């Protein structure tokens, strides 16, 4: 083995294009502020100019000759650098605004937005400038779109953590990003936009104002969880909350099945194994908590069902919205919600967490192992939607889950070292790694804020949010000696 140098030019060129997209996105909040007569519009114009300058510099300075092709090693590097740099530049409007955020808080808010975590350090959202509120929602939406494209077009080719199942869903058996994968990614993009528009209309009809409806639609479909009110969705009534439940369900589902492409064209949404598990998890835990609230906490049955369904859907889809302060529901509810932080949405969505598909495969592996103990000579084939799952995919799923829990434990210990209490450290680490938003307890609970945490804890959580969003292995690979050798 000999050392080899990675050609960074294609990586930096594509990263420059990403910064240009981010700069254009900053103009929308500028227009919103200007229309409302808020002087903060200049903050977004300046931030857009700075971001565009660096984007153009990277684009023109590193533009490769001919068609751009990325090797697996370059794709790993692009994914990490792309998410890191866009998060840094996305923090500029927060840092330059008159909100009084420190640089640490600005970066934390930007990382939380782009990773669709929804953990916030901002207070006084009901009176915040419209531009900032729209920027937070846009970060959620852009981050969610980026996650889906990464999951469909990049991770399968890099053999990351079970994402190869997309090849079964799209009938693409190649090891590269081919036209078929790109076509499916485009179809998912159309579905993503359509659901966002429909959700905004649903919120508006249910009683939200147009601006709030648009911001919450951007955050709901992307499973981002940023709201325009300190009370989250508790600020609005039951109709709005039920619309949010539907939007979060869709956002956490496998959007490739909504495109009708590839094998998805022959697989009914409700016949998909992953979707069945997804709905069973949400339905089962919603019923359990609704019964708890009705019988133990004396909540009226209709309200108990609504708040339970809302809260469970929000956590499982890793959206992070809240319709009530479920941290006051008691110890049983705390344990249930802590467990739900490790479930996650469907593969092929913007949701985080371990993901339903991996749990499905883990249960199948466990069942096969028990069968081998009883019948050692039996043949056990693990299938997903009647397709045989390759051993390499099963190995990657097992490796991912082990690495996931090790990462969770490591960051929980690190948070406790910098002075975070036990409950906040555990739930904060779980919520950050799953990109789920709120944790458990009085500080970072569903109606709380991450602002009181020490700056060191915020940097640790921001790093963990990014690692969770990048599917762990992408970051781990960069620390491997073999990655830096040919």
The pair of structure tokens assigned to 406 is 């090790």
Q: What is the reported pLDDT for 243?
A: 98
Q: CA 340, CA 431: separation in Å to the nearest integer?
A: 10
Using one digit for the tens of pLDDT, what is the confidence trace for 147-201? 776 666 555 555 544 444 444 333 333 334 445 666 777 788 889 999 999 999 9
116 is in an annotated binding site: yes
351: nearest Cα among 45, 91, 78, 140:
140
- The answer on pLDDT for 208 being more than 50 is yes
90: nearest Cα among 196, 34, 19:
19
Can you tell me the mean pLDDT for 296-325?
96
Residue 433 resides in a domain:
yes
117 is in an annotated binding site: yes
Per-residue pLDDT band at 93 (split at 50, 70, 90)? very high
Report the mean per-residue pLDDT for the chain: 88
Q: What is the reported pLDDT for 278?
A: 94
Q: CA 298, CA 292: separation in Å to the nearest integer?
A: 9
Residue 289 resides in a domain:
no
Q: At what angle do helices 238-251 and 179-206 cross, to 10 degrees?
A: 180
363: nearest Cα among 262, 276, 295:
276
Q: What is the reported pLDDT for 479?
A: 84
3 state SS of 272: coil
Question: In the chain, count of helices (H) and strands (E)?
Answer: 20, 2
Range of the domain at 461: 389-483
224 is in an annotated binding site: yes
Please, what is the Cα angle at 55 between 217 and 129, to 5 degrees? 40
Q: What is the reported pLDDT for 267?
A: 52
Q: CA 74, CA 483: separation in Å to the nearest integer?
A: 10
- The answer on pLDDT for 483 being more than 70 is yes
Using one digit for the tens of pLDDT, what is the confidence trace for 276-288? 999 999 999 999 9
Using one digit for the tens of pLDDT, what is the confidence trace for 16-68? 989 999 999 999 999 999 999 999 999 999 999 999 999 999 988 888 776 77
330 is in an annotated binding site: no
Q: What is the reported pLDDT for 354?
A: 93
Q: CA quadruple 288, 427, 359, 118: dihedral positive or negative?
A: positive
- Which are the contacts of 403, defined by CB distance < 8 A and separation ≥ 6? 472, 473, 476
Phi-psi region of 467 (alpha: psi -120 to 50; beta: other; left: phi over 0): alpha
Total residue length of the chain: 486
347 is in an annotated binding site: no
* Predicted TM-score of the model (pTM): 0.92
Q: What is the reported pLDDT for 268?
A: 62
Residue 173 resides in a domain:
no
Residue 432 resides in a domain:
yes
275 is in an annotated binding site: no
Among 51-65, 261-275, 423-437, whose mean pLDDT is lowest?
261-275
User: What are the φ and ψ backbone dihedral angles of 62, each rounded to 5 degrees?
Assistant: -125, 15
Please, what is the Cα angle at 166 between 165 and 169, to 5 degrees? 95
The pair of structure tokens assigned to 8 is 């960074």
56-83: b or e for each residue (b if 16 or more CB lie within 10 Å)?
eebbeebeeeeeeebeebbbbbbbbbbb
Number of domains in the chain: 1
Using one digit for the tens of pLDDT, what is the confidence trace for 383-393? 888 888 888 88
CB atoms under 10 Å from CB of 296, counted, come to 12
- Which are the contacts of 283, defined by CB distance < 8 A and separation ≥ 6? none
Q: How far separated are the first and last CA of the chain, in Å rounded?
A: 7
Q: Which segment, 141-155, 370-384, 405-419, 435-449, is predicted with the most confidence on average? A: 405-419
363-373: b or e for each residue (b if 16 or more CB lie within 10 Å)?
ebbeeeeeeee
Residue 332 resides in a domain:
no
Residue 393 resides in a domain:
yes
Q: What is the reported pLDDT for 486?
A: 58
Strand bridging mode 387-388 / 383-384: antiparallel
Residue 397 resides in a domain:
yes
Q: CA 433, CA 373: separation in Å to the nearest integer?
A: 35
Residue 460 resides in a domain:
yes
């Amino acid at each position: 083995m000999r050392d080899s140098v990675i050609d960074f030019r294609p990586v930096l060129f594509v990263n420059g294009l990403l910064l240009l997209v981010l700069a254009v996105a900053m103009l929308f909040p500028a227009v919103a502020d200007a229309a409302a007569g808020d002087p903060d519009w200049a903050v977004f114009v300046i931030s857009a100019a700075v971001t565009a300058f660096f984007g153009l510099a990277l684009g023109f300075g590193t533009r490769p000759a001919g068609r751009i092709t990325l090797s697996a090693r370059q794709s790993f590097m692009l994914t990490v650098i792309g998410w890191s740099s866009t998060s840094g530049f996305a923090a500029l409007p927060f840092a330059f605004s008159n909100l009084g955020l420190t640089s640490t808080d600005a970066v934390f808010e930007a990382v939380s937005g782009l990773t669709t975590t929804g953990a916030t350090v901002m207070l006084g959202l009901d009176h915040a400038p419209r531009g900032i509120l729209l920027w937070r929602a846009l970060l959620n939406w852009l981050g969610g779109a980026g996650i889906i494209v990464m999951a469909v077009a990049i991770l399968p080719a890099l053999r990351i953590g079970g994402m190869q199942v997309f090849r079964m869903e799209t009938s693409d058996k190649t090891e590269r990003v081919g036209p078929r994968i790109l076509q499916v990614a485009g179809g998912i993009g159309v579905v993503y936009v359509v659901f966002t528009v429909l959700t905004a209309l649903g919120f508006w009809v249910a009683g939200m104002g147009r601006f709030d409806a648009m911001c919450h639609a951007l955050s709901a479909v992307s499973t981002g969880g940023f709201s325009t009110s300190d009370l989250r969705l508790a600020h609005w009534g039951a109709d709005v909350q039920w619309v949010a439940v539907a939007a979060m369900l869709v956002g956490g589902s496998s959007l490739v099945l909504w495109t009708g492409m590839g094998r998805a064209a022959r697989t009914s949404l409700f016949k998909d194994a992953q979707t069945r598990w997804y709905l069973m998890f949400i339905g089962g835990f919603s019923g359990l908590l609704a019964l708890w609230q009705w019988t133990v906490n004396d909540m009226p049955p209709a309200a108990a069902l609504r708040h339970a369904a809302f809260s469970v859907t929000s956590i499982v889809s890793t959206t992070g919205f809240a319709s009530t302060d479920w941290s006051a529901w008691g110890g049983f509810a705390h344990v249930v919600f802590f467990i739900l932080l490790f479930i996650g949405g469907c593969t092929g969505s913007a949701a985080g967490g371990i993901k339903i598909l991996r749990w499905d495969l883990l249960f199948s592996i466990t069942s096969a192992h028990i069968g081998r103990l009883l019948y050692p000579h039996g043949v056990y084939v693990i299938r997903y939607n009647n397709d045989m799952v390759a051993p390499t995919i099963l190995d990657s799923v097992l490796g991912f889950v082990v690495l996931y829990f090790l990462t969770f434990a490591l960051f929980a210990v690190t948070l406790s070292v910098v002075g975070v209490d036990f409950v906040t450290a555990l739930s904060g680490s779980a919520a950050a790694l799953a990109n789920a938003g709120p944790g458990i307890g009085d500080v970072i609970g569903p109606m709380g804020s991450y602002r009181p945490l020490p700056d060191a804890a915020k940097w640790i959580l921001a790093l963990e949010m990014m690692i969770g969003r990048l599917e762990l292995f992408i970051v781990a690979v960069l620390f491997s000696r073999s990655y830096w050798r040919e």
